[in-house]
Structure formats: C-alpha cells, structure tokens
Chains A and B, each alone.
Chain A
Amino acid sequence: MITQPELHLMLFVVGSDKHLDVISELRKALLENYGDAGYLEVIDVLSMPDKAMENNVFATPMLVRSIPQPLLKMLVNISSAQDAFMAIVNHQTNHNILV
C-alpha cells in the first residue's frame, strides 16, 4: 500500500440505517486507498442536527472532505458513493472552491 496523506471525510445522512450501503462502500474505498490515513465520520443528522448546521449542510447524503483543505462538499446518492470518493480524492487541492 502506498503511503497517502491524510483524508478525513464526513458523511451527513438522515438515519444511518438507510445508508448502510453508502457507508460500507466508502469505508471500503477508504481502507483500500488510504489505510489508516483515511477516516470517515458518519453524522446522523437526526441525532446530531447541530453538526449539520455548523457545516452548513443543506441536503443529505452529503460527503464532506474536511482534510485536506479546501473543504469539499459532494451530494451523493446510493449508487454514486464510489464516484464521489474518487471525485474527492482526485480533486486538486488548489481548485478554486469557494467556501
């Protein structure tokens, strides 16, 4: 496994039970690509609404890259978890993202 820089992701969902497939896909992709350097925090908005407000999340499932900067937000659906992961990984850090 190639050593990778850290990647911290947050997945905001409403009811984590409903999105087990997305979570499982992302965890798998993280482990395969980042090993211990990858971290996924699943935030169920129903139990942690404040965290969604803090991060200005308008819609879910929303995948947020908190590390590395800049912050990236991706609106994903069940079938696109892998695509979202790749988009976040491949996104250039100097991309002109407004936050």
Chain B
Amino acid sequence: MAGMIEVIEMNSSMSMILAVVLILFFSAFAGVLYMRLKKNHTLKCQAIETQKSQLQQALLLSNLYLETPHSIIFSFDNQFKFLEINQKGLEFFDITSKPIFDFNWVERFIPEAHRQELSEALHKFSAVHNQQYTINQLHVLVNDTPYILSLSVIHIDRDEFGESFYLCFADDISYQVKTQAALQLGVENFENIVNKNQTGIMVVSKQGIIKFFNPAVERLMGRTREQLLDSYFGTPILSDPSQHSEFDILRADGKIGVSDVSFSSIQWQNEPAYLVMMYDITELKNAQQEIEDIALHDALTGLPNRRLFTETLVQTIERHKRNQRSFALLFLDLDRFKTVNDTLGHAVGDALLVQTAERISKVLRSNDFFSRMGGDEFTIILDDEGAYENVARVCEKIIAQLIQPYMIEGQVVEINASIGVVFYPDNAVEIDDLLKMADLAMYKSKKMLNKSYHFYDEEMMSDFNRSFDLESALKQAIKNNEFELYYQPQAQAGSLTFSGMEALIRWRDPKKGLVSPAEFIPALERTGLILQVGTWVLYEAVRQLQIWLAKGYICNRVSINVCVLQFLDDDFVNIVKQCLAQYKVDAKHLAIEITESILIENKTHLFGQLEQLQALGIHIHMDDFGTGYSSLSMIKDIPFDTIKIDQSFVKDLLESERDRVMVRSIINTIHAYDKCVLVEGVELEAQRVILAVEGCDQIQGYLFARPMPADELEKRYLLDTLSS
C-alpha cells in the first residue's frame, strides 16, 4: 500500500471546488442532521419547525444527489465506524441488511497487510485541515472477494455538534485496473516478442509494400524507419513459400548482408499480406566462406587447390558445353624441384613455389583459372581458348618468366618447367580424360630436351594404352604366378670354377612367351608392383637355396637385385629376416645387389638398412659400377662386400690399353678397401685372362654361362660340387 495515498495541496480554485462540495455535502447530509436534531431533547426553538421543513426538503434533494451517482459515498467517524453510506456503498460492501454503525470498516474490509498503514494515514489526515486525500488504489476484501477502490477522503473537522468525521468518495476500479494490467502485459509482451526480437519481423502487403517491421529489420536492412515504412520492398515469388530461402540484403551504406528469409500469408488490417521473418546470417556466411576459402585454397601460395580446381573444371566443361566453346587445360610441373628442395632446403623450395605462382599469375588473363595441385604441380584453365597458336604463346610466356633466375634467401636458383596442354572438346570432353591427357603431354614435354611444353596427341594415348595394357598384364602375371627365376652362374676369374650365381627374374607370358626384364621392370617400378614382385624374388631364391643346400650342393651364395622402392620400405630388413627364418637358410648364402645411383639419391636412409643386412651376414654387392657417378667415396663409405664392374669396361679391353689401365686402377682401388671385384659381361677367354692378370676376383658373363633355369643350373654346375 506504500505510495497509494496521494496528498493534494489545495489552491484557490480547489478551495472553491471544496466549498461547493461541502455545500452539496451538507445538503446531502441534512438527513443526518435531521436524525440528530430529532434526538436532541434540549432543542426548544420554535424556529426549528421552519428549519425542519426546510431540512426535509433538503433531505429529499440530498437523497436524490446521493443515490444518483455510481460512486460509493460514505462517512465514518474517528473510530472508522460508518456514519452514513449511500445505496451504492451498501451494495458494494454487502451490508444492506445489517446495521451499519457497529463496526470499523477498515478492520472489516481492508486486508490485514494494508490495514495499519491506512489507519495511520487516516489518523494523520485528521490532524490536517482543508485537504483532500486521494488513495489511487485501495485494496478491499468484501466477502473474501478482492476489489480495488479509488478513494478520495475529506476530513470534516467538526460539525455543529462538535463531532469530526471523514467524508469519503470511492469508485470500484477493479475492472479498469485488471484491464489496464492485462493491456500493460500485452504491450510488454509485444515489446519483448516483437520489438526486442533479434529476428527481423516485417509485414509486407500483397502489393509488396512494407507495412510493419520491428527494430531488427532496421538493423538488418541498414535503413531508418522512415526509409522503410511504406516503401516498395517487392512481392515474394517462391516455388515453396514454406521453405526458407537465402537472400542478399543491400544495406543503405552499400554493405551487403545475407539473410535467411521465410514468408507466411497473413491478414494485416483486414488485408491479405505476407509475414516476413528475416534471420541475419551474414556472419555465419562469412565464417563459412572463410572456412571454404581455407578448404579450397593452397595455404602456401594462396592459389585455388586441387579441390577447387576440380570443381571449377567441372563447371568450365558445363559452361563451354552449353556455349559450344573450347578451352585449354595446361598441366605444369617444375623440373628438378625435388633437387632444389633436397639441396637448398624446404624453405627455399617453398619460396620458389610462391614466386613461381606470382610469375605465372602475371602472364594470365583475369578469367583464366590458375591453381596448385600440390607439390610442384600447377594447372591452368585458359577460358574460351581453342587456338593452338595462342596457347603456345601463353606457354612460351610462362616458360620465359620461369627460366629467369630466382633470388631466394641470397641464393640464385634456376629452374625450368614442363607444360602439357590438352583442349576441350578437341582432345576430350570428360574431366578424367582431360587430366590424364594433360598429364601425359606434360611427361612427354619433360622427356624432350628442347621443348618445355607439349600439346597432347594421339600417339601419347597409344603409348599410354600400351603401358596400361602392360600394367594390367603384369597384375595378372602376379596373380597367375607367371614369373620365374633364372640363375646366371659366376666363376672365379683365375680358375673359371663356379663361385656363385645371380638370380634374374623372367616373365613367361602365356601369349608372348618369355618377356625381357627390360620391357616389364620399368612398368613394375612405375606402378609400385615391384614391391610385391621383389618380395617374391627374395622368397623364391631363398626357397631354391634351401632345396639345393638340403641336397648338399655347395652353392656359395645367390645374389638378388633389390630396387630403391624395396629399400625405402622400412620393413624391408624384417622381410629378409623372416624369409631366411622361414626357410632356415644361413644369411651368408644370400647377397643383395643395389645400384650406385640408388645410393647417391638416398644415402642416409639406405646406409642404416645396409648395415643391418650386413650384420645378419648377408653380402652387399654394388651393381653396375662405372655407369653412374663411379664415386670412390661410395666404395670407401658404404659397407659393400663386392663391387660389380659394368660390362662396358670389358667391351674394348682387348683393343684399348687405356681401358685395361682403367680396369687395373679400379680393381686396385677396390682391393685397397678390401672388397672383392666381380666383372660383368665377360664373353671371351682373352678378356678373362686379362682380368685375371689384373687381379679381378670373379667374372660373370656368357663365357662361363648364360642365365638358365634352376634345374639346368643344378645339373650343369651344382651336381659337380657334390663330388668336389
């Protein structure tokens, strides 16, 4: 009840009003006076009759005044007991049938919580004269039903009988208060739900005119209330209005946002309209775009990556198909990039790629698409370009840019590139074919010494298809066990007696017969099938060794050839161990041959592997010495047991004294490091004699034996070892 009582100070005009009210009041309460006069037995004055008559008239008039209004009017004494009350009051307080003077109305009708405050306030008012006290909302309880009264109280100091009392005018405002509260709640709800909503809520008429919107729409559209209201937004035309659609929002400041918008048909001021709900998803879209950019671009160069290239190529094909136009696809690969990376470090390699990307970008048009596929591979789509001469010019410009020396971290780096070109739709219309052809053309270009770019031609595809057929046949060969091992015996150079053998793979194609290793080994290496076949060679050689050793032959050792892929496999040493363990063959009977070139490129990694193999007791042979770097440091550093000198040194041995001197020097050098020398390709007895004289330990070649199947070798060479 705090604050419910309002004291209004009176001014002169209010005094006038009060005077009028008092006159009315006296008139109205003439009945009261009349009653009292009747009781007063001391009143003798004859004039009273006249007054009585006048008062009766006044009583009639006052009753008329009292009962006419809808207000409750009552008076009460200083103990808050009713003195008088009008009919409206009796009905309101439900006291029509009871004596009204016997109870304290405050105690009866005011809820306990407010009772004391009201009592104190009324007592306090009684000490102040000529003031009207207003209680805006007075809570009352009548028969346990709560009501709210609006109350004005005037304290009448003393009547002519010396009694002071309160005169009170009250209105039942329960309904208004409730209605107002409900209205207020509605307004608050509206405020909360609509005006404070972060979602843009807008009503657009059927004609597309903005009729209503909340503040979120102003923010979302970047426009003021005045700019929006009654402006022509447009009519939504949607195939499925219930679905959300994304729209770009053009803000007044020129910025563009993205909004997810849904439309519903409603009635607005009795007219059909659209309720438009707008969700600002600009930040979400920006974040998505950022993630997409990261996912679709190469972090190093900032160029589109392989994924974006593939998507773009699909779209480019579609567009050019629709427009019946041509485009060129360029596949570019840097030459010797791996060497730059390995020798100068990855930082220099990365900087080189970045600069390469910048240089190529300079040459291209804005509508060309340039991407990095990974490593040192780049792709370029020359949009709407079908003229060979134009594309050739672009290739030449690119190459001209790239062959300029690069200055990276204070070092001059020089590089070249190879470009393969394919045309849509002249060469192919499918994405996979285009990529494959561009790749083939690029490899062709790489093989050519005098040209850095090459257009795809049919011959490449024929080569590719031949190669593909070969690969398929090799897979089938592995599956069908079509490989065999031949063995070429080796001999002591001096005595020409059997000293060991080299296992050599052969492929017995059911259609072609025996196929030369030169034909299929490169294909095995290119496809990685060499790993599988290499392991088979190891197991087959050791299996055969086991059989021969079990028969008591003196085999010395069998050497097998191992390629770089096998050596790069971290599990290679374990595979060898497992094989030897499976057949229970002593490692000393096995030799592994590797070429010098493999070691040059992978020295650090292979060194450890070789040491482990040697620790098992396996001999290590360096194959084809003299065909590559012929590095003396290799002989010194790598733990070889035998160095096999290439046959090229033997060919002119009889005619060339220089060759003989060179062979002598090589043999002496190798011997100086306590390693054996085996010379390959010895075909003539005279050659053998010279080699024996120069100190060669062993020879291999047609002079002693050609490669032969295992059973033949057994008969011709191993059987003899039993008797010896």
- Chain A residues packing against B (C-beta within 8 Å): 13-14, 45-46, 49, 52-53, 56-63, 71-77, 79-80, 83-84, 87, 95-99
Contact = CB atoms under 8 A, between A and B. Distances in A.
B33 interface: no
B232 interface: yes
Interface in B45-71: none
Contacts of B246: 77
B199 to A, nearest CB: 16
Interface in B636-670: none
Contacts of B234: 58-59, 62, 73-75
B363 to A, nearest CB: 23
Contacts of B247: 59-61, 75, 77
A58 B254 contact: no
B256 interface: yes
Nearest to A64: B234
Interface of B: 207-209, 221, 223, 230-240, 245-250, 254, 256, 259, 261
A33 B240 CA distance: 24
B418 to A, nearest CB: 32
Contacts of A71: 232
Contacts of B232: 56, 71, 73, 97-99
B239 to A, nearest CB: 4
Contact of B237 (A59, A60, A76, A95): A76
Nearest to A72: B235
Contacts of A74: 234-237
Nearest 3 CB-CB pairings of A with B: A73-B234, A14-B248, A84-B237
B209 A45 contact: no
Given A58-B233, A58-B234, A62-B234, A79 B250 contact: no
Nearest to B318: A20
Most chain A Cβ neighbours within 10 Å, of B239, B250, B261:
B250
Given A45-B256, A80-B237, A87-B237, A73 B248 contact: no
A97 B209 CA distance: 9
30 contacts: A13-B248, A14-B248, A14-B250, A45-B248, A45-B250, A57-B250, A58-B223, A58-B231, A58-B233, A58-B249, A59-B247, A59-B248, A60-B248, A63-B237, A72-B235, A73-B208, A73-B232, A73-B235, A74-B234, A74-B236, A74-B237, A75-B233, A75-B234, A75-B236, A76-B238, A77-B247, A83-B237, A95-B207, A97-B232, A98-B209
B231 A56 contact: yes
Given A49-B254, A60-B250, A73-B232, A96 B239 contact: no
A contact patch SS: mixed
Contacts of B233: 58-59, 73, 75
B211 to A, nearest CB: 11
Contacts, number: 84
B711 to A, nearest CB: 72
Nearest to B221: A58
A93 B259 CA distance: 31
Contacts of B248: 13-14, 45, 59-61
A97 B207 contact: yes
B263 to A, nearest CB: 9
Nearest to A99: B232
Nearest to B259: A59
Given A52-B250, A59-B248, A77-B238, 17 more contacts: A14-B248, A45-B256, A49-B250, A53-B254, A58-B221, A59-B259, A71-B232, A74-B234, A74-B236, A74-B237, A75-B233, A75-B235, A76-B238, A83-B238, A84-B237, A98-B209, A98-B230
Contacts of A45: 248, 250, 256
Nearest to B278: A59
A97 B231 CA distance: 11
Nearest to B256: A14
Contacts of A97: 207-208, 232
Contacts of B256: 14, 45-46
A75 B274 CA distance: 13
Most chain B Cβ neighbours within 10 Å, of A53, A58, A79, A97:
A58
Most chain B Cβ neighbours within 10 Å, of A63, A75, A95, A99:
A75
Contacts of B221: 58
A49 B256 CA distance: 10
A77 B249 CA distance: 13
Nearest to A95: B207
A84 B232 CA distance: 17
Nearest to B247: A59
Contacts of B207: 95-98
B33 to A, nearest CB: 73
A67 to B, nearest CB: 17
A47 B209 CA distance: 27
A79 B239 contact: yes
A56 B246 CA distance: 19
B249 A59 contact: yes
A76 B250 CA distance: 15
Contacts of A56: 231-232
A94 to B, nearest CB: 13
A60 B234 CA distance: 10
B614 to A, nearest CB: 64
Nearest to B208: A73
A13 to B, nearest CB: 8
A60 B248 CA distance: 5
B369 to A, nearest CB: 12
A77 B239 CA distance: 8
B237 A75 contact: yes
B323 to A, nearest CB: 11
A43 B259 CA distance: 20
B240 A79 contact: yes
Nearest to A96: B207
Contacts of B209: 98
B180 to A, nearest CB: 38
Contact of B250 (A59, A63, A95): A59
Most chain A Cβ neighbours within 10 Å, of B223, B231, B233, B235:
B235
A76 B237 CA distance: 5
A16 to B, nearest CB: 12
Contacts of A84: 237
Contacts of A46: 256
A75 B232 CA distance: 11
A96 B383 CA distance: 48
B281 to A, nearest CB: 13
Most chain A Cβ neighbours within 10 Å, of B209, B221, B231, B232:
B232
A85 B230 CA distance: 25
Contact of A80 (B230, B239, B249): B239
